[in-house]
Amino acid sequence: MTVPEEKTSPQEKIVIGPVIWTGFVTSDSATFETQYRFFTSAYPKAWGSIAEGNAGFNLDAAGVHQLELLYITTGEPPWDKEGYQVGYRVADIEQAADRVVAAGATLLGQIKENHGRLQVHCEDPTGYYFTLMQPAAASSS
């Protein structure tokens, strides 16, 4: 396998920060329950909250990296594929969204506010879903 040659200079690149959210999506209640039992046992101090079909865990003391178990039955993107999805921290969500679209990704909706941060779900050219997330502190009003 060969890696494609770089087409942009480092100054032109949008820096996508670390993963700050990981979601495990399932439409099977038994899988959701198994994952829930696993994570509450493996990370007993990381427990955060549970609501209809969702369970959230903060995996660090600052609450920066979150794991969310999602029991979804809508069948609409980005919830139509089971498995893990990640959310990346970005400083400027509009610029980052423009950049990933220019690189071949598709936005799966509009940029919107969710839990105090801006986010937009995306699909990369190979069909994997990811989310761009701009923390509230970096949001512009």
Domain annotation for the chain: domains and CATH numbers: 16-138 (3.10.180.10)
Whether pLDDT at 11 is above 70:
no
- For position 18, what pLDDT does the model report? 86
For tokens 């990296």, the residue is: 65
pTM of the predicted model over 0.85 = no
Most confident of 23-27, 58-62, 77-81, 109-113: 109-113
Average pLDDT value for residue range 81-96: 93
Q: Is 19:59 a contact under the CB 8 Å cutoff?
A: no
Give the percent of the chain with pLDDT over 70: 78
137: left (phi over 0), alpha (psi -120 to 50) or beta: alpha
Q: How open is the CA angle 123-125-131, to the nearest 5 degrees?
A: 25
